[in-house]
Structure 1
């Protein structure tokens, strides 16, 4: 397993290096921070002093070299807007985003696996048709539309949940539900199709002939062999939730990394942008490692890949 994980980690590390280069130069395409933090009629002397204080007067290649040097000690510099270390701001916001992603993908995975497995037991039955229709609708709905409709219906009209905030469990219900709908729909489709294939295998027929209970056949014998494609899709969706929480955090006022990144891009706060992208990428990198471990545990054949 060590060799298997080593190859995966080297591949992910290469992607991480490419992301470092891309983020640094893409952030500077947004323009000069001096245009936002100084008066419109600021003299050139003031602009030059601002650039010198923040290292923007150096050639771009030298700024990048300094960024790489500081990155080795996990130092992204200070936020232009708040005057605090950028990494501290991101680490304060990260738990909210990770918790939001954890509950969203956890609920989506649990509901989808059970629904897909039960739908596969009687293909084209009533339950299968309803589950397939609802999962296709859920997989097709964009998060921003679901979030806006959810606020209008459940928060404004019915007043069942608050429109924003993170202080109580009730305030998490709507954001988690919004983020869970699309992954749930996709995973139901994958779990259903994979389970239909597995349930037609000879060992399943043998278990049926021996009188093994239906619940044991579905959730013990068949489900484990059907989980690899499900884990693949669930892992992709979990990474997508971490990256795509920007919209949901903005709409519901969640103090997560997504909202912090939007504000930082608007204010051209390069240090926070770089710290946010890098720390999020590391979180996704660790998530991929966990997925690879799950692969190896579920199917030993993947260890030789």
Structure 2
């Protein structure tokens, strides 16, 4: 297992470096921070002093090397806008994103297991066709459209739900519903396909021939073996939620890492943007490791390959 973890760490190091370098360079293409943080009446001397003080006058490669060496010493810089520690701001915003992603995935997994197993238990029935059509439609709907329609219908027109914020349980409904639709649709398809194969497998027929009840056959035998592909897809979707919550957090004013990234780009707050991307990239790396370990624990064939 330790060898497997080392291989995964090495293979993920290069993409992580590329992401950090890409964000570092692209952030500086957003414009000169001096034009944003200094008044319009600022003189050329004031602009030059601001640029030199923040190190923006040095070549990009020198700036990047300074950034890497500072990160190695756990120094992530300070926010140009607030003067706070950049990593502290990223870590303060990240739990809100994790709460949103975790709640969404728990609801998606539970709902998909119920609906997918129900559809697979009666293949080609009306229930199966309704579940398949609904899940395919849900998997195809873009998040931003669902978010906008949700605000328009339930917040603006009906006035049932708030348009933004995190105060009260009602504020969670639209963000979670928006993020939930696509993962639910994808997982229903995966669970249904895996359960159809599992329920027709020989070991299920043997269990039934020995007098096992249908609930035990479905939950104890078929679902256990169908869990491995569903877990992999659920893990990938969770990574996508953490990485792709930018639009939803921006629309609903959710104080997570995605909104912090957008605000940092608009405010040309390079240090905060870099810290937010680094936290997100490391989280995705750890999630991928956990997905691989979980898949290995569920599938003996994969486990043997990991342990060797």
TM-score tier, shorter chain, comes to over 0.9
> Displacement of 1:74 after TM fit?
2.4
Distance 1:186 1:50, change over 3 A: same
1:10 aligned partner: 10
> Displacement of 1:41 after TM fit?
4.8
1:122 aligned partner: 122
Alignment of 1:14-29 (within 5 A): 14-29=14-29
CA contact (8 A) 1:261 1:276 kept: yes
CA distance in 2, matches of 1:162, 1:48: 45
2:171 aligned partner: 171
2:218 aligned partner: 218
**1:110 lines up with 2:110 in the alignment:** yes
2:298 aligned partner: 298
1:87 aligned partner: 87
1:52 aligned partner: 52
1:201 aligned partner: 201
CA contact (8 A) 1:5 1:293 kept: no
CA distance in 1, matches of 2:217, 2:157: 45
1:232 aligned partner: 232
Deviates more, 1:91-100 or 1:148-157: 148-157
| 1:123 aligned counterpart, secondary structure | coil
1:257 aligned partner: 257
2:101 aligned partner: 101
Deviates more, 1:27-36 or 1:269-278: 27-36
Alignment of 1:133-144 (within 5 A): 133-144=133-144
Q: Deviations over 1:44-78 (max 9, x none)?
A: 21111011110111121111110001111222211
> Displacement of 1:206 after TM fit?
1.2
Please give the TM-score of this superposition, normalised by the length of structure 1. Answer: 0.96
Count, aligned residues: 305
1:131 aligned partner: 131
> Displacement of 1:213 after TM fit?
1.3
Unpaired runs of at least 5, structure 1: none
CA distance in 2, matches of 1:297, 1:205: 25
CA distance in 2, matches of 1:38, 1:85: 21
Q: Deviations over 1:165-204 (max 9, x none)?
A: 1121221122111101100000111111111112111111
> Displacement of 1:226 after TM fit?
1.2
2:43 aligned partner: 43
CA distance in 1, matches of 2:109, 2:221: 19
CA RMSD across the alignment = 1.4
CA distance in 1, matches of 2:298, 2:195: 15
1:289 aligned partner: 289
CA distance in 1, matches of 2:167, 2:116: 34
